[in-house]
């Protein structure tokens, strides 16, 4: 990609992204193209990270392990649902992922947890997301009993309108009361430590580097 | 071995004899002799075995020694050591504190001893004896167990060798020390120390061998009761004593901050008392861990499962998820647990009883920020329960929380500090926080001006810097109740930071900051720093705040700081007296009222302040507080009136406002601090004849007199001081004094006290009593002369002065002058002329003048070089001193001339 185009891309992305400055956007774009590899852009072919490549990043860089959640995070980044994260999706996604406000993060997390995208997190979805969260105790008759109970506990805590499923309003209210519930059904945001490392690595000031 | 050889050889010789001598009778005799000999040897062997065991130290004796030394350690010149501490808090069930792999070597424990005149010594106490080891490495590290010096037979011997100051002070303390040891030994015999110690060891061991069975069963019962692991009877007794004394100090403490801040008559002395009490507390806490169990009400465990509330089961389930869940499940369980009413004891105890505390504390050690936050949020709430606090400390929760204070996440820091603030409400916790560097970290939290490299977008779990400082201050407030922590806060540079925070106007912030300062202001160094940091003006400013609690803390802090004269002036100059006086009108909030009256009391020690208080009508208000107030308020109000009445205007105001009646009524109380202050106030009023009439009318003198029987020396002394102006100003004082049946005998017997203040005050009272000839005759009959003579050997200037005055008064009767000479009062009096105090000079010269009327006394004076000293004093600007000195010299001279004349004729 030529310099001019890159400059233009950086400018347009910077304009639309409130959490990164120009320099940071540039860094992220560079990183994106490093990750994608040297693929020349052609008309009609989307250049981007596919599901596997992205999941790999989530796993290696941000220490995520839950397959389902990682899939959902990919979906969250992949706004146009084409199975491929483009450079703009990458920058926008990361802006929420790394620096989003509580509101943005709530929206993002809710979308991740709403597996079927119907606007509600149902009991089944919760069960699905929590099913690996407890150590299986062989002594127990029904190994799923604990999970079911956990789902009930969560509902009791978060389902304010008592309709047996979580709407965004329910979720938002619960999170505002207790921020810890933002990632109630699994870690879908970077933990502070890996976030710091990532930012430190990516947003290295080239000037600083030169001085050394 | 030697015995065996001896035995063998003796048997051989006996056998020899038997073979030589065939006499059957002789043979029988020999057999008997042989048997007896064997028995003898057997017995000797047995006892030798026992004795060789006894010479070794055992954990019990070592513990006793260390505890005794602790009792006599601390700051100041009089103590034997600066400090003595175990290196390890944990005591094994056998009484040892050394790690098990060292116990195999016979080592019992390690102590760090700081003598007054040497570096800290690290000492190993082992069964073989006591020796210096390689010392403790600096960084919290291991002890170098290698022996570095000679082996001594016990700790005291070693310390005598290593520290001259110790052995010097030890010999001074010897009496007390021995007494204590004696008490501990519960052996009434007067054997010298070492012998007694040996005896004690022997008795322990003989019990061990002879009553082994009993011992075992005793041991078992001890185990079940979780008593002292030592097999010593005395230690159990001792522990009980400790416990009761601890309970006393506890009670004093739990009596409330108010009582704590209640100083006694002389400013500074209260400080001392409090400090030493605190020291004792510290010592007790360091020494006996089991007695701490008594501090709080015992656990009442859930009695029957049937009665368990439903919360119990729900919490149990949640704890199960905490244990077996991943991060997500843990967070859900934590959030759900947080929804229980954690202020309720059932829930608090349920969490503990199902093992939740362990899990919560474990979570703090993970890397998961969310889990830590959730866990701390719960711990913060449930740690309001005193039992839970102890459990948290027992589980080692504090070091973990202290570590979290370093976290980059401010909200975590806040929560950890808040939890520490709740947990650190007792000594073991204070110590734990300090030992793990918590104080330094908490002080660092106060520093909120540092521009932190904050990310543009604050994280989800971040808090404001101000909030962090607030939480830090809260935790410091809790921790600042221990002396060592106060010192640690100061050393960590906490005072300037607190001073800076004091400039804010946020009440939430100000309360813990002022409260911390108030706690710390009990220390001299703090008061100096508070002055230097210009904290007083901010305290004064906040007196006018709207917040009652803040006002209370400010007033208490001023009360503490106003021990210092400059500070008292500062309070006045900064306009602090008016708000104090105006706060007197609001009597609803007793805590605040007590604090305010305390501050007024301390401030009124300066005369200028009294003038101001009069202007603000504070005296009238104080008189109004003499009835229907809690003791804390009364103590301070009466103390303040006592100071105000030192001025004639104050006395008049108190009388006119009808303050004398309630004051005299308070003389029948039992509160020691109150009695000290009331007697002082009544004494001050009695200076004015009109007030004296009222006091006399109310039978106040009799009440004062009966306070001479009070068990507390400071009450006795204060009552005796108060009696002086009463006797001076009462009409028919002589008659009045005589009317108290047994009163004079009581006063004379008080001269046997060993409290210098009591002695001085009683001497002053006797001076006044002796003005009446008839009373002087009575006290002479009660033996006042020998008792006074005995006191002459003192180095206390106050006592010297009043004693000399009493002696010169008592010379006025019969052959008392001769009697003083006979009881050897003259020579020490002459020595007292070398004092630096002119009051002592005057009184002593007057006494000597009186005594010099007797020829023998003149000779004694001359022999002791009185003339030279007196000649010097003739040149003094003090006329009375001049006169007395000159009179005395002339008496001596006259005697000399007369002798010379007699020789010539």
The parts of chain A modelled with pLDDT lower than 50 are 209-212
Distance of alpha carbon B112 from alpha carbon B617, whole angstroms: 56
**B50 Cα distance to chain centroid:** 41
User: Does B780 or B457 have the greater pLDDT score?
Assistant: B780
User: B320 contacts in A (CB within 8 Å)?
Assistant: 146
Q: Is A134 at the interface with chain B, CB within 8 A?
A: yes
Chain segment B390-416, per-residue pLDDT in tens:
999 999 999 999 999 988 888 899 999
Distance of alpha carbon B513 from alpha carbon B469, whole angstroms: 10
Distance of alpha carbon B406 from alpha carbon B491, whole angstroms: 19
Nearest to A187 by CA among B494, B672, B328: B328
Structure tokens at A105: 């993060």
Distance of alpha carbon B359 from alpha carbon B81, whole angstroms: 43
Give the three-class secondary structure for B145.
strand
Say if CB B605 and CB B267 are below 8 A apart: yes
What is the dihedral sign for C-alpha B89, B95, B96, B99?
A: negative
- pLDDT over 60 at B884, yes or no: yes
Please, which pLDDT band fits residue B746 given cuts at 50, 70 and 90? very high
Mean pLDDT, residues B620-640: 90
Distance from CA of B468 to the nearest CA of A (A): 18
Q: Choose among B329, B456, B457: nearest Cβ to A133.
A: B329
pLDDT at B12: 59
Q: Could you tell me which residues are beta bridge partners of residue B85?
A: B112
A106 → chain B, closest CA residue? B460
Strands (E), B118-186: 121-126, 129-136, 143-147
Chain segment B414-441, per-residue pLDDT in tens:
999 999 999 999 999 999 999 999 999 9
**B810 Cα distance to chain centroid:** 39
Q: Could you tell me which residues are beta bridge partners of residue B86?
A: B111
- pLDDT over 70 at B213, yes or no: no
Say if CB B107 and CB B97 are below 8 A apart: no
Classify strands B129-136 and B143-147 as parallel, antiparallel or unpaired: antiparallel
Q: Does the beta-carbon distance from B325 to A133 stay under 8 Å? A: yes
Strands (E), B646-793: none
User: Does B398 or B254 have the greater pLDDT score?
Assistant: B398
Please, which pLDDT band fits residue B279 given cuts at 50, 70 and 90? very low
Beta carbons within 10 angstroms of residue B408's beta carbon: 13
Nearest to B267 by CA among B614, B642, B709: B642
Say if CB B494 and CB B476 are below 8 A apart: yes
Chain segment B786-803, per-residue pLDDT in tens:
999 999 888 899 999 999
What is the dihedral sign for C-alpha B410, B416, B418, B420?
A: negative
User: B375 contacts in A (CB within 8 Å)?
Assistant: none
Long-range CB contacts for residues B49-53, cutoff 8 Å, separation at least 24:
B50/B202, B50/B205, B50/B206, B50/B209, B51/B202, B53/B205
User: Does B460 or B686 have the greater pLDDT score?
Assistant: B686
* CA atoms within 13 Å, Cβ hemisphere of B723: 33
User: B334 contacts in A (CB within 8 Å)?
Assistant: 180
Q: Does the beta-carbon distance from B324 to A178 stay under 8 Å? A: no
Q: What is the dihedral of CA B628, B633, B635, B640, to 10 degrees?
A: -110
Q: What does each C-alpha distance from B871 to B21, B861, B881, B882 come to in angstroms?
A: 95, 13, 11, 9
Q: Which residue has the tokens 């010269």?
A: B845
- pLDDT over 90 at B90, yes or no: no
pLDDT at B138: 59
Say if CB B721 and CB B679 are below 8 A apart: yes
Q: Is A150 at the interface with chain B, CB within 8 A?
A: yes
Q: Which residues contact B495 (CB under 8 A, 6 or more apart)?
A: B489, B520, B526, B529, B530, B533
Please, which pLDDT band fits residue B179 given cuts at 50, 70 and 90? low
The continuous run of DSSP H or E covering B161 comes out as helix B155-162
Nearest to A91 by CA among A5, A37, A16: A16
- pLDDT over 60 at B188, yes or no: no
**B28 Cα distance to chain centroid:** 72
Classify strands B121-126 and B129-136 as parallel, antiparallel or unpaired: antiparallel
Q: Which residue has the tokens 């029948």?
A: B668
Q: Which residues contact B10 (CB under 8 A, 6 or more apart)?
A: B37
The length of chain A is 212
Distance of alpha carbon A66 from alpha carbon A112, whole angstroms: 12
Mean pLDDT, residues B33-53: 83
Q: Does the beta-carbon distance from B460 to A184 stay under 8 Å? A: no
The continuous run of DSSP H or E covering A122 comes out as strand A120-122
Say if CB B165 and CB B115 are below 8 A apart: yes
Q: Is A187 at the interface with chain B, CB within 8 A?
A: yes
Q: Is A60 at the interface with chain B, CB within 8 A?
A: no
Q: What is the pTM of this model?
A: 0.64
Q: Choose among B324, B374, B409: nearest Cβ to A180.
A: B374
What letter would DSSP give residue B214? Answer: H
Q: What does each C-alpha distance from B547 to B506, B511, B589 come to in angstroms?
A: 11, 9, 12
The maximal CA–CA distance of chain B, rounded, in angstroms, is: 120
Q: Could you tell me which residues are beta bridge partners of residue B113?
A: B84, B121
User: A130 contacts in B (CB within 8 Å)?
Assistant: 328-329, 332
Distance of alpha carbon B840 from alpha carbon B397, whole angstroms: 60
User: Does B259 or B745 have the greater pLDDT score?
Assistant: B745
Say if CB B334 and CB A180 are below 8 A apart: yes
Say if CB A110 and CB A117 are below 8 A apart: no
pLDDT at A140: 63
Mean pLDDT, residues B526-543: 85
Q: Which residues contact B750 (CB under 8 A, 6 or more apart)?
A: B708, B716, B720, B758, B759, B762
pLDDT at B180: 55
Quickly count helices (H) and strands (E) in chain A: 11, 4
Q: Which residues contact A192 (CB under 8 A, 6 or more apart)?
A: B369, B408, B409, B459, B461
Q: Does the beta-carbon distance from A192 to B409 stay under 8 Å? A: yes
Distance from CA of B345 to the nearest CA of A (A): 22
B338 → chain A, closest CA residue? A178
**B726 Cα distance to chain centroid:** 34
**3-state DSSP helix/strand/coil % of chain A, to nearest 5:** 60, 5, 35
Q: Which residues contact B875 (CB under 8 A, 6 or more apart)?
A: B882
Distance of alpha carbon B169 from alpha carbon B312, whole angstroms: 59
**ipTM of the predicted structure?**
0.90
Distance of alpha carbon B67 from alpha carbon B288, whole angstroms: 9
Q: Is A179 at the interface with chain B, CB within 8 A?
A: yes
User: Does B887 or B136 have the greater pLDDT score?
Assistant: B887
Structure tokens at B573: 């100059």
Classify strands A165-167 and A84-85 as parallel, antiparallel or unpaired: unpaired
Distance of alpha carbon B581 from alpha carbon B342, whole angstroms: 42
B339 → chain A, closest CA residue? A157
pLDDT at B189: 45
DSSP characters over A40-51: ---TTPPP-EEH
Helix axes A168-177, A102-113, angle to 10 degrees: 130
Q: What does each C-alpha distance from A165 to A75, A187, B338 come to in angstroms?
A: 22, 20, 22
Q: Is A126 at the interface with chain B, CB within 8 A?
A: no
Main-chain phi, psi angles of B84, to 5 degrees? -145, 125
Mean pLDDT, residues B624-638: 90
Q: Does the beta-carbon distance from A157 to B336 stay under 8 Å? A: yes
Share of chain B above pLDDT 70, in %: 79
Q: What is the mean pLDDT of chain B?
A: 80
Say if CB B625 and CB B588 are below 8 A apart: no
The length of chain B is 905
Q: Which residue has the tokens 């106490």?
A: B125
Q: Choose among B332, B334, B369: nearest Cβ to A191.
A: B369
Mean pLDDT, residues B870-877: 89
The maximal CA–CA distance of chain A, rounded, in angstroms, is: 66
Distance of alpha carbon A178 from alpha carbon B416, whole angstroms: 18
Chain segment B124-178, per-residue pLDDT in tens:
888 878 888 877 765 556 777 788 777 877 788 788 877 777 777 777 665 555 5
Chain segment B632-655, per-residue pLDDT in tens:
899 999 999 999 999 888 899 899
């Amino acid at each position: 990609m030529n310099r001019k185009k890159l400059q233009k891309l950086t400018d347009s992305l910077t304009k639309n992204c409130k959490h990164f400055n120009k320099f940071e956007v540039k860094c992220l774009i560079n990183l994106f193209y490093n990750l994608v590899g040297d693929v020349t852009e052609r008309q009609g072919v989307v250049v981007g990270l596919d599901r596997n490549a992205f999941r790999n990043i989530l796993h290696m860089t941000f220490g995520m392990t839950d397959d389902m959640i990682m899939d959902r995070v990919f979906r969250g980044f992949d706004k146009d649902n084409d199975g491929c994260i483009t450079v703009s999706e990458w920058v926008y996604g990361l802006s929420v992922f790394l620096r989003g406000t509580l509101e943005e993060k709530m929206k993002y997390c809710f979308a991740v947890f709403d597996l079927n995208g119907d606007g509600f997190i149902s009991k089944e979805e919760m069960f699905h997301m929590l099913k690996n969260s407890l150590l299986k105790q062989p002594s127990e008759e029904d190994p799923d009993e604990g999970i079911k109970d956990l789902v009930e506990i969560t509902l009791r805590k978060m389902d304010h309108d008592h309709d047996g499923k979580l709407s965004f309003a329910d979720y938002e209210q619960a999170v505002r009361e207790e921020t810890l519930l933002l990632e109630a059904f699994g870690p879908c945001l970077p933990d502070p430590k890996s976030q710091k490392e990532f930012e430190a690595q990516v947003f290295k000031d080239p000037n600083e580097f030169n001085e050394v | 071995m030697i015995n065996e050889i001896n035995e063998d050889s003796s048997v051989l010789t006996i056998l020899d004899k038997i073979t030589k001598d065939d006499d059957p009778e002789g043979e029988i005799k020999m057999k008997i002799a042989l048997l007896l000999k064997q028995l003898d040897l057997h017995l000797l062997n047995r006892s030798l075995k026992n004795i060789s065991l006894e010479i070794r130290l055992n954990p019990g004796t070592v513990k006793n020694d260390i505890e005794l030394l602790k009792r006599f350690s601390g700051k100041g010149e009089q103590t034997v050591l600066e400090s003595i501490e175990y290196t390890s808090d944990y005591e094994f069930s056998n009484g040892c504190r050394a790690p098990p792999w060292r116990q195999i070597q016979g080592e019992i424990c390690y102590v760090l001893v700081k003598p007054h005149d040497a570096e800290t010594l690290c000492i190993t106490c082992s069964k073989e004896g006591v020796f210096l080891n390689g010392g403790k490495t600096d960084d919290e590290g291991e002890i170098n167990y290698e022996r570095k010096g000679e082996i001594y037979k016990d700790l005291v011997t070693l310390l005598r060798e290593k520290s001259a100051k110790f052995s010097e002070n030890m010999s001074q303390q010897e009496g007390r020390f021995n007494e204590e040891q004696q008490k501990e030994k519960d052996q009434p015999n007067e054997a010298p120390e070492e012998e007694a110690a040996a005896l004690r060891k022997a008795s322990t061991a003989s019990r061990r061998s002879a009553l082994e069975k009993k011992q075992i069963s005793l041991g078992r019962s001890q185990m079940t009761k979780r008593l002292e692991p030592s097999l010593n009877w005395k230690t159990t007794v001792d522990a009980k004593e400790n416990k009761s004394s601890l309970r006393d100090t506890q009670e004093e403490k739990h009596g409330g901050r108010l009582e704590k801040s209640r100083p006694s008559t002389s400013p500074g002395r209260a400080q001392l008392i409090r400090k030493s009490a605190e020291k004792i507390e510290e010592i007790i806490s360091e020494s006996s861990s089991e007695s701490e169990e008594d501090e709080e009400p015992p656990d009442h465990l859930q009695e029957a499962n049937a009665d368990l509330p439903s919360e119990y089961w729900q919490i149990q389930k949640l704890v199960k998820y905490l244990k077996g869940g991943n991060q997500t499940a843990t967070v859900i369980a934590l959030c759900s647990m947080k929804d229980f009413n954690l202020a309720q004891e059932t829930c608090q105890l349920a969490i503990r009883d199902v093992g939740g505390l362990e899990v919560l504390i474990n979570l703090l050690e993970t890397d998961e920020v969310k889990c830590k936050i959730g866990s701390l949020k719960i711990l913060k709430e449930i740690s309001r329960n005193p039992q839970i606090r102890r459990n948290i400390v027992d589980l080692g929760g504090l070091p973990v929380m202290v570590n979290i204070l370093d976290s980059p996440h401010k909200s975590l820091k806040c929560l950890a500090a808040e939890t520490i603030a709740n947990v650190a409400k007792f000594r073991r916790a204070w110590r734990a926080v300090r030992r793990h560097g918590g104080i330094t970290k908490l002080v660092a939290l106060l520093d909120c001006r540092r521009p932190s490299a904050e990310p543009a977008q604050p994280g989800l779990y971040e808090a404001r810097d101000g909030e962090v400082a607030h939480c830090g201050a809260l935790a410091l407030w809790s921790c600042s109740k221990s002396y060592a922590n106060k010192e640690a806060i100061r050393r960590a540079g906490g005072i300037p930071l607190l001073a800076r925070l004091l400039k804010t106007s946020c009440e939430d912030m100000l309360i813990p900051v002022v409260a911390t300062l108030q706690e710390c202001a009990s220390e001299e160094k703090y008061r100096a720093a508070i002055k230097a940091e210009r904290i007083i003006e901010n305290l004064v400013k906040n007196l006018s705040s709207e917040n009652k609690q803040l006002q209370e803390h400010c007033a208490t802090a001023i009360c503490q700081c106003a021990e210092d004269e400059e500070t008292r002036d500062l309070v006045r100059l900064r306009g602090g007296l008016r708000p104090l006086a105006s706060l007197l009108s609001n009597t609803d909030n007793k805590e605040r009222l007590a604090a305010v009256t305390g501050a007024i009391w301390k401030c009124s020690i300066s005369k200028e302040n009294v003038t101001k208080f009069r202007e603000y009508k504070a005296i009238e208000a104080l008189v109004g507080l003499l009835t229907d107030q809690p003791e804390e308020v009364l103590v301070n109000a009466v103390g303040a009136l006592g100071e105000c009445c030192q001025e004639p205007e104050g006395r008049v105001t108190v009388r006119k406002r009808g303050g004398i009646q309630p004051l005299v009524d308070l003389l029948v109380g039992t509160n020691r601090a109150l009695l000290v202050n009331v007697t002082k106030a009544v004494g001050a009023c009695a200076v004015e004849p009109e007030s004296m009439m009222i006091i006399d009318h109310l039978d106040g003198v009799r009440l004062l007199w009966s306070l001479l029987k009070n068990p507390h020396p400071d009450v006795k002394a204060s009552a005796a001081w108060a009696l002086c102006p009463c006797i001076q100003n009462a009409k028919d004082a002589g008659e009045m004094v005589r009317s108290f049946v047994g009163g004079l005998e009581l006063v004379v017997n008080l001269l046997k006290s060993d409290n210098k203040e009591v002695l001085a005050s009683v001497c002053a009272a006797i001076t006044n009593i002796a003005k009446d000839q008839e009373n002087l005759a009575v006290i002479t009959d009660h033996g006042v002369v020998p008792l006074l003579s005995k006191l002459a050997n003192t180095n206390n200037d106050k006592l010297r002065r009043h004693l000399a005055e009493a002696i010169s008064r008592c010379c006025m009767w019969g052959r008392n002058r001769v009697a003083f000479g006979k009881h050897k009062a003259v020579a020490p009096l002459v020595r007292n002329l070398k004092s630096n105090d002119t009051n002592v000079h005057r009184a002593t010269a007057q006494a000597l003048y009186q005594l010099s009327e007797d020829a023998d006394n003149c000779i004694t004076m001359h022999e002791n070089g009185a003339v030279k000293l007196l000649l010097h004093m003739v040149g003094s600007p003090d006329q009375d001193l001049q006169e007395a000195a000159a009179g005395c010299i002339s008496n001596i001279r006259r005697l000399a001339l007369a002798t010379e004349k007699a020789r010539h004729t």
